[in-house]
Structure 1
Amino acid sequence: MNTHSERLDIVATPTLPEIVYRELRKAILNGMFIPGQMLRQDDVAAKLGVSRSPLREALPRLEAEGIVVLHPRRGYAVAALDPKEIAEVFDLRSLVEVELARRSIARRTEADIASIYSIVTEMKALATEESAEALSQWFELNKKFHDALLAPADCPHHLKALQHSRNLIEAYIRTEARLTGDLREAQEEHSQLAQAFVVGDSERFLELTKQHSEHTRDRLLTGLNRTEGLSAAGNA
């Protein structure tokens, strides 16, 4: 037996801090903890069923992503943005996305096209369901979809900047979707984006990329204004 030519297939098992990081990230993005809420470590650890030690390792990672913020002498809180800041983040996101889209469509491969087809098909099926789990899965695929559209650009620093801007607003987008329960418009835009990507229509793809970001921003801000209006009426 030639041991030098054999390969060992080692499957890495996530560490407890990694699991805590993933679960807390998912909980924040899915609205279990709302923007601005202080994250009392004892309470969060109890909800996750762990000690504070792995939580202390997970929180700085979430801070680096912009999902939580650290207040001196107070602790960590879920990041919160006002409407003006949200609009600013979308402006930045749009600039980076359009540039990535321009580079991506010129470099896409048949494998990239097949991947987009597969993801869109899964998303369409989930968009018609109304459960919280289906919505969470749809958003995971939503990230996968946008990553797959732009990955051929092969611009890691652009992609890193884009992911940071997405992290800042993802929780708000998911909250708006939970309140309306309607993914049809977003799903239709995804289908159009996929079609332009597949056929290689660069002009259409860039136009749709910009429009999709603008429409997502408008839906979110409209939803936030509606929620604030209802809250004000309830407190009157």
Structure 2
Amino acid sequence: MANQTEMILTRVLDDIEQGVLTPGSAIDEDALIEACGVSRTPLREAMIRLEAMGLIVRLPRKGATLFKPTLEQFVAILEVHAQLEGQAAGLAARRMSGADLAVLEQVVVDCEKHAAQKGDDDPDGYYQLNLRFHGTIAEGSGNPFLVDMIKTNARKLLAYYRARYQYAGAIADSAVEHRALFDLIAARKSDQAAAFMTRHVQFDQVTAMDLLAALG
């Protein structure tokens, strides 16, 4: 049953990352059972775990929905997430190997090419590159517990980061900041990399309000 529970968890988490599920979306439990070929017992276990992670909300007789933050919750989660990402960048600056840095630089190059060739078009494509960039840095921290914490918090915010790339100029700005952050990490400037990453992932309150409104 443990493997079946993990199968359901993976399916839901993938749907969050791919934007299939967005904040406030209802979780179709019957569809999950059919798609994964499982019974209700592993489904129930998966829902309990997702709720404990803060990713879904379950209400009696109303089923489960993907967590949708209020403005206050959004700002609070983002504040924690920015600190976690900053910590990962600082550690990555000290710990990434030459091979790891080469992988990260290639992601940066891909971001730059996307921004130069497509401009504001294909924000979803750039969003996937952004996930690779931040994931590579998180893994480069060498701290699996920190990586798990970042992933859990990020999944509460992914829909809003995806929406952010719909704004004119956001992709180009992000690509420039990715290059600057890479340069700090490659130069082993740990404190500066941490501070830069913290600023990079933050939204001001007006932008946060706009994003919350855009996603209903």
* TM interval, short-chain normalised: 0.7 to 0.9
Contact 1:193/1:208 (CA < 8 Å) preserved in 2?
yes
Q: Which residue of 2 aligns with 1:9?
A: none
Give 2:199's aligned residue: 211
8 Å CA contact 1:149, 1:197 repeated in 2? no
Change (3 A) 1:110 1:22: same
Structure 1 runs of 4+ aligned residues shifted over 6 Å read 15-20
Where does residue 208 of structure 2 map in the other structure?
A: 221
Q: What fraction of aligned residue pairs are identical, expressed as a percent?
A: 18
> CA separation in 1, counterparts of 2:141 and 2:19?
32
Count of residues paired in the alignment? 210
- Structure 1 residues 64, 136: closer, same or farther in 2, change over 3 A? farther
Matched, 1:191 2:179: yes
Match runs of 1:69-88 below 5 Å:
69-88=57-76
Q: CA RMSD in A?
A: 3.6
Q: Quick one: structure 1 residues 94 and 77, their matched pair in 2 at CA, closer, same or farther if it must change by over 3 Å?
A: same
Relative to structure 1, the CA distance from residue 28 to residue 153 in structure 2 (aligned partners, 3 Å threshold; closer, same or farther) is closer
TM-score, normalised with respect to structure 2: 0.75
- 2: distance between equivalents of 1:173 and 1:19? 26
User: In structure 2, do the counterparts of structure 1 residues 226 and 185 end up closer, same or farther at CA, with 3 Å as the change threshold?
Assistant: farther
Deviation at 1:146, TM superposition (A): 1.5
Residues 1:51 and 1:200: Cα distance change in structure 2 (over 3 Å): closer
Unaligned runs of 5+ in 1: 1-14, 232-236
Q: Distance in 2 between matches of 1:202 and 1:88?
A: 25
Shift of 1:17: 8.0
1:36 counterpart (24, 34, 38): 24
3-state SS of paired residue (1:69): strand
Cα shift readout 1:79-114 (whole Å, capped 9, x = no counterpart): 100111111011111222233333221122111110
- Equivalent of 2:109, from 97, 121, 124? 121
Q: TM-score, normalised by structure 1?
A: 0.70
| Structure 2 runs not aligned, ≥5 long | none
- Cα distance in 2 for residues equivalent to 1:124 and 1:221: 25
Alignment partners' CA distance in 2, 1:18 and 1:131:
37
Distance of aligned partners of 1:154 and 1:126 in 2 relative to their CA distance in 1, 3 Å threshold: same
